[in-house]
């Protein structure tokens, strides 16, 4: 099973046709998570990463159990600016989808815990509890069954435990066994859609960057063919090659603005030439791969270490 804890979350970008991102014969992203009646996307990725954030912050319990209030979830995912009933409903819908989602693990036999030619399916979220107050408000959304002030008063009296869950034991064990790297929620809160996918994937230490020798600064680069399958894995599903390149070129500056370690995301191609994405960033320091820098349980610290 892949050592990168973000791999399963990366699959959640697959809201359309599934895709596979492979660089130098190494699979970096497989957008293959699926659930009947739902499309997986950005909110699912952020909710899953919030679950992992709290798992680490609460001491990485071996049983994979965790609990939270709506407020803690909201602060992690949206910060302090975007809270309210609409986002609460998005949060619950994503949790219900994740409870039912099937994730694929290619090249690994999860039954016998060994590499194998084949594909395993698993649920990463195996139990979910939602307090009746918030569940009632969710079920009555759009009706007159409970007004906002009543819901606010009842929910305000609820502490940690409004939402509880249990992660799959295999995934919990993997988190405990691997080295961890930092996941920066401050940056994640400022990114959306394709820009979020680009940042998540190309921040991974698994990406095979090489030194950019023609540069005077300490830069590194990677180039990725923009095949249809690669584009789909990154959430880009425009109908033409030119439109797909344009999407990347529009998203790239947003990533560079949010994360100053990136210098450029440039999609090149055109008539008679195969399209490719060129990513340039400043070389990572050794501190980026430090061992388990666990965030404060108060929720005010938005840095999470994830596996490398």
What per-residue confidence (pLDDT) applies to 293? 37
161 and 49 housed in the same domain = yes
Q: Is residue 50 part of a domain?
A: yes
239 and 214 housed in the same domain = yes
Q: Is residue 35 part of a domain?
A: yes
110 and 247 housed in the same domain = no
Domain count, the chain: 2
203 and 160 housed in the same domain = no
Q: Is residue 188 part of a domain?
A: no
Q: Is residue 246 part of a domain?
A: yes
108 and 200 housed in the same domain = no
Q: Which domain holds residue 219?
A: 193-287
* pTM given for the model: 0.70
110 and 215 housed in the same domain = no
100 and 232 housed in the same domain = no
3-state secondary structure the chain: CCCCCHHHHHHHHCCCCCCEEEECCEEEEECCCECCCCCCCHHHHHHHHHHHHHHHHCCCCCCCEEEECHHHHHHHHHCCCCCCHHHHHHHHHHHHHHHHCEEEEEEEECCCCEEEEEEEEECCEEEEEECHHHHHHHHCCCCCCCCHHHHHHHHHCCCCCCEEEEECHHHHHHHHHCCEEEEEHHHHCCCCHHHHHHHHHHCCCCCCCEECCCCCCCEEEEEEECCHHHHHHCCCCCCCHHHHHHHHHHHHHHHHHHCCCEEEEEEEEECCEEEEEEEEEECCCHHHHCCCCCCCCCCCCCEEEEEC
What per-residue confidence (pLDDT) applies to 169? 85
What per-residue confidence (pLDDT) applies to 141? 54
205 and 282 housed in the same domain = yes
What per-residue confidence (pLDDT) applies to 134? 76
What per-residue confidence (pLDDT) applies to 66? 93
Q: Is residue 134 part of a domain?
A: yes
pLDDT along the chain (308 residues), means of 10: 45 57 66 55 83 87 90 84 70 87 71 78 85 73 54 52 85 73 79 86 84 79 91 84 94 94 93 92 58 36 32
56 and 131 housed in the same domain = yes
205 and 107 housed in the same domain = no
Q: Is residue 1 part of a domain?
A: no
95 and 205 housed in the same domain = no
96 and 108 housed in the same domain = yes
């Amino acid at each position: 099973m892949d050592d990168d804890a973000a791999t399963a979350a990366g699959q959640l970008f697959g809201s359309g046709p599934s895709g596979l991102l492979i660089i130098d014969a190494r699979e970096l992203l497989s957008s293959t998570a699926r659930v009947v009646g739902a499309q997986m996307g950005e909110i699912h990725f952020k909710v899953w990463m919030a679950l992992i954030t709290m798992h680490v912050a609460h001491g990485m319990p071996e049983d994979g159990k965790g609990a939270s209030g709506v407020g803690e979830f909201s602060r992690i995912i949206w910060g302090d600016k975007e809270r309210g009933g609409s986002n609460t409903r998005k949060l619950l819908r994503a949790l219900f989808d994740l409870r039912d989602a099937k994730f694929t693990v290619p090249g690994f036999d999860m039954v016998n815990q060994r590499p194998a030619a084949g594909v395993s399916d698993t649920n990463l979220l195996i139990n979910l509890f939602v307090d009746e107050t918030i569940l009632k408000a969710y079920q009555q959304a759009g009706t007159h069954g409970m007004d906002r002030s009543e819901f606010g008063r009842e929910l305000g009296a609820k502490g940690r435990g409004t939402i509880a869950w249990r992660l799959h034991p295999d995934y919990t064990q993997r988190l405990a066994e691997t080295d961890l790297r930092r996941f920066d929620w401050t940056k994640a809160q400022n990114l959306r859609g394709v820009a979020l996918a680009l940042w998540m994937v190309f921040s991974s230490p698994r990406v095979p960057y090489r030194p950019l020798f023609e540069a005077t600064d300490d830069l590194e680069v990677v180039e990725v063919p923009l095949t249809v399958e690669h584009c789909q894995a990154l959430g880009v599903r425009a109908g033409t090659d030119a439109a797909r390149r344009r999407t990347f070129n529009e998203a790239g500056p947003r990533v560079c603005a949010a994360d100053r370690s990136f210098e450029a995301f440039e999609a090149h191609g055109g008539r008679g030439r195969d399209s490719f994405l060129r990513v340039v960033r400043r070389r990572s320091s050794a501190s980026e791969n430090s061992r388990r820098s666990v965030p404060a349980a108060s929720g005010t610290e938005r840095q999470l270490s994830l596996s490398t």
